[in-house]
Structure 1
Amino acid sequence: MKRYPGDAVSGLAPADSLFARLRTACRKEWDGYVAHSFVQRLGDGSLREDCFRHYLGQDYLFLIHFARAYALAAYKSEGLDNLRAAGMGMAAILDEMGLHVKLCQGWGINAKELESLPEAKATMAYTRYVLEKGLSGDLLDLHVALAPCVVGYAEIGLALKDKATDDHPYAQWIREYAGEGYQEVARTSVHTLDRLLSERAGPGRMESLIRTFRQATILEADFWQMGLDLAD
């Protein structure tokens, strides 16, 4: 399997950050996610257009549930810093959804079609897992479950950035996640994890956080596979 450079995330997560520690502990699963065949084919432009359209539609539904997850984070917040962070996260997701609708329209999927799409099993599995972690755990559990998506897309965007030439079929998608706006969203997520760890971590907590991060990363790879399965 092709592996993207390990330093692609260095500007997002310092080596001593919680995110970097979780990523290292789950390296096999992480590589299976960020270097998935779907990502490689998207990067070199060989991904079939119907696979990409299917992924785009499901990603729209995915983002709806992630906005709900940030609303849950706001509900579970005990202080203004956490409440503000949840509000900023939800605003970022809603902004991303606006861009996503425009991207979908460019690929022939209108807003009415997006709203009527049935959820794929992979979409339900990951989004419900994140929400369940937020409901049964605390803010740290919820943000760890969100992190593979939030930070992983930023890492993938950086890894593919140089491939996004003007004639690349998926250049707009790559540039969206490689862009400074989304990179800042990812850096904020990394910072939030560290702040929550200092507030809420205790002896033995790391093992459960690794389990959550690993499972969320596996579900992210399954989401890529859902899009790729149309080509098989």
Structure 2
Amino acid sequence: MGAVPDAEGPARRFWVRFRKESVFAAYTPFVVCLASGRLELETFRHYIAQDVYFLRAFARAYEMAEECADDDDAKMSISELRKAILEEMKMHDAIVEEWGVDLTKESTPNLATVKYTDFLLATAAGKIEGGKGPIKIATPFEKTKIAAYTLGAMTPCMRLYAFLGKELQSFLDPGETNHLYKKWIENYSSESFESSALQTEELLDKLSISLTGEELEVIEKLYHQAMKLEIDFFSAQPIVQQTVVPLSRVQDPAEHQLIIFSDFDLTCTVVDSSAILAEIAILTAPKADQIGPENVNARKSSADLRNSWDALSSLYTEEHEQCIESIIPSEEAKVETFNYEGLCEALEQLSDFEKRANSRVIESGVLKGVNLEDIKRAGERLILQDGCPGFFQQIVNKKEELNADVHILSYCWCGDLIRSAFSSGGLNVVNIHSNEFTYEESVSTGEIVMKVESPMDKARAFKDVLSHSDNGKHVSIYIGDSVGDLLCLLEADVGIVVGSSSSLRRVGHQFGVSFVPLFTGLVKKQREFVDGDSSSWKGLSGILYTVSSWAEIHAFILGP
């Protein structure tokens, strides 16, 4: 990952807030092909010609910002940054000459380039939109703020390029001499460029010191707008070669259905649903002194329920760890080749454990007496992982266009909680496969209809959905976070792991499963694609792909 300034100033805060969006630039066909070293020369020539317009706009914006600054140190810093841009333009001139780019033939900027350069130069000229309309620059003092606004519109681009440079550097083999874009990558991953990016961020922080909260909000808005326009710029680069991203556009919807499966607890959610359901039961239960001796059928008191739940939770955690340890007897027993059959046998132990644990919950009566309306309200307030609802919403909105379907496979005890969590965001058409509470007049009996309580149950539900897909032709994606998802993750054409479950990785490694960062896997696929090898995704390859956020999943499947 690219570095960020040490001080907790606006530049760092803004980058942290919007860094997930940098993923959308990295996952564009242009950057993935560039990282693979197999980007078509004509595409790179076009990009270089377009980037010249960016650099010219940067040089002019620095010049305009320097005129607005009233501090000698600030003026000097802006002047130094402008000189760095001019040096970068010299590097571009060398690349232009090396690649034979004729700027007289490619002198027209494309729409994405124009949008950013117009935005930047308008900002530097003081034509800025605030929260209440255009900001009026009436006095010399107000004019000095333009320098800060201008830096706010430039800083994310510098940081984004430094971020991409560092990301792509990892794909350069020190001994490799035929990577066509080595010089470009080395420039943006260099210490000198990182220094320029940091200098820009430090200057933004300095120019922002005297600004009000409202004026900082304007800079944040400019920063975010610049980031989005930069991503649009990378997305707009014309790619004529076949690519592996975004997946939904690579696959022909007329031939293949896109079927997306996801776990729910801790994959979509921030907290586990079992704890939420138990908390509902505890909070809605009567106090001990409210239960009379004559009412023998009354619910347990909230204190008794709390004690029961704590005991059940502790026992579950202890036995789950013991079960995992029994699956992984020793490091020496680890196999190097993918052994799916051995994994299935091992997970039968986990299946038996999950069933025993669920039986204990039912027998305890902890979930008896919970009202359906309370469950629905809890679902509506359930916090989902950042980027998860937006991803599914876009899939649902484009369901027909993409020929896509979404299925949630979950151990959750109560499907109503999941349905409420998704329907509150307008996602009523997501298919839910989970367990279900039983009710009498909208009040839970404490019994649970168990449909999905083990890895084997999930795998069966997964295969059943695929068996009913259009013409049997499909591309399946499974997104999960735990050992219970392993079989589905491996059976899917693309298995994506979110989170950092150590038990998932330990069990996977024990049976020869490889965990590869998704972006790394895409670059490798792109190289194989161009080399003429099959780039199709196929299940049971023994490879799972890891991501750090839902933004990566969104960028990979749907693009920006």
Superposed pair shares fold, TM > 0.5: yes
The superposition leaves residues 70-120 of structure 1 with CA deviations (integer Å, 9 ceiling, x where unpaired) of 11011111111111111111101110000101011111115xx35861121
Shift of 1:28: 4.2
Q: 1:75 is aligned with what amino acid?
A: E
Q: 1:179 to 1:115 in 2, by over 3 A?
A: farther
Larger Rg computed on CA atoms? 2
| 1:4 aligned residue | none
Q: 1:164 aligns with which of 168, 172, 177?
A: 172
| 2:446 aligned residue | none
Gapped regions of structure 2 (runs ≥ 5): 129-145, 243-560
If asked which structure has higher relative contact order (CA below 8 Å, sep 6+), I would say 1
Q: 1:140 aligns with which of 129, 148, 156?
A: 148
| 1:182 aligned residue | 193
Shift of 1:13: 2.2
Kindly indicate whether the alpha-carbon contact (under 8 Å) linking 1:25 and 1:210 is maintained by their aligned counterparts in 2.
no
Pairing of 1:71-82 with structure 2 (within 5 A): 71-82=63-74
Q: 2:110 is aligned with what amino acid?
A: A
Q: 2:22 aligns with which of 11, 27, 30?
A: 30
Kindly indicate whether the alpha-carbon contact (under 8 Å) linking 1:51 and 1:231 is maintained by their aligned counterparts in 2.
no
Gapped regions of structure 1 (runs ≥ 5): 1-7
Aligned alpha-carbon RMSD (Å): 2.0
Kindly indicate whether the alpha-carbon contact (under 8 Å) linking 1:154 and 1:178 is maintained by their aligned counterparts in 2.
yes
| 1:227 aligned residue | 237
Q: Percent identity?
A: 28
Q: 2:6 is aligned with what amino acid?
A: P
Pairing of 1:57-136 with structure 2 (within 5 A): 57-110=49-102, 113=103, 117-136=107-126
Separation in structure 2 between the aligned mates of residue 20 and residue 34 of structure 1, nearest angstrom: 20
Separation in structure 1 between the aligned mates of residue 104 and residue 157 of structure 2, nearest angstrom: 21
Q: 1:206 aligns with which of 211, 216, 223?
A: 216
Separation in structure 1 between the aligned mates of residue 44 and residue 66 of structure 2, nearest angstrom: 32
Q: 1:99 to 1:180 in 2, by over 3 A?
A: same
Q: Which moved more, 1:159-168 or 1:29-38?
A: 29-38
TM-score, structure 1 normalization: 0.87
Separation in structure 1 between the aligned mates of residue 192 and residue 104 of structure 2, nearest angstrom: 25
Kindly indicate whether the alpha-carbon contact (under 8 Å) linking 2:162 and 2:189 is maintained by their aligned counterparts in 1.
yes
Separation in structure 2 between the aligned mates of residue 97 and residue 193 of structure 1, nearest angstrom: 22
The superposition leaves residues 123-145 of structure 1 with CA deviations (integer Å, 9 ceiling, x where unpaired) of 11101101111222511110010
The superposition leaves residues 144-174 of structure 1 with CA deviations (integer Å, 9 ceiling, x where unpaired) of 1001211211111111112233321110100
| 2:273 aligned residue | none
The superposition leaves residues 157-213 of structure 1 with CA deviations (integer Å, 9 ceiling, x where unpaired) of 111112233321110100011112111111111111111121x32122332222111
Shift of 1:230: 4.8
Pairing of 1:11-50 with structure 2 (within 5 A): 12-14=4-6, 16-50=8-42
TM-score, structure 2 normalization: 0.38
Kindly indicate whether the alpha-carbon contact (under 8 Å) linking 1:164 and 1:171 is maintained by their aligned counterparts in 2.
yes
| 1:9 aligned residue | 2
Equivalent residues, number: 221
Kindly indicate whether the alpha-carbon contact (under 8 Å) linking 1:23 and 1:30 is maintained by their aligned counterparts in 2.
no
Kindly indicate whether the alpha-carbon contact (under 8 Å) linking 1:55 and 1:226 is maintained by their aligned counterparts in 2.
no
More strand by share: 2
Separation in structure 2 between the aligned mates of residue 141 and residue 230 of structure 1, nearest angstrom: 37
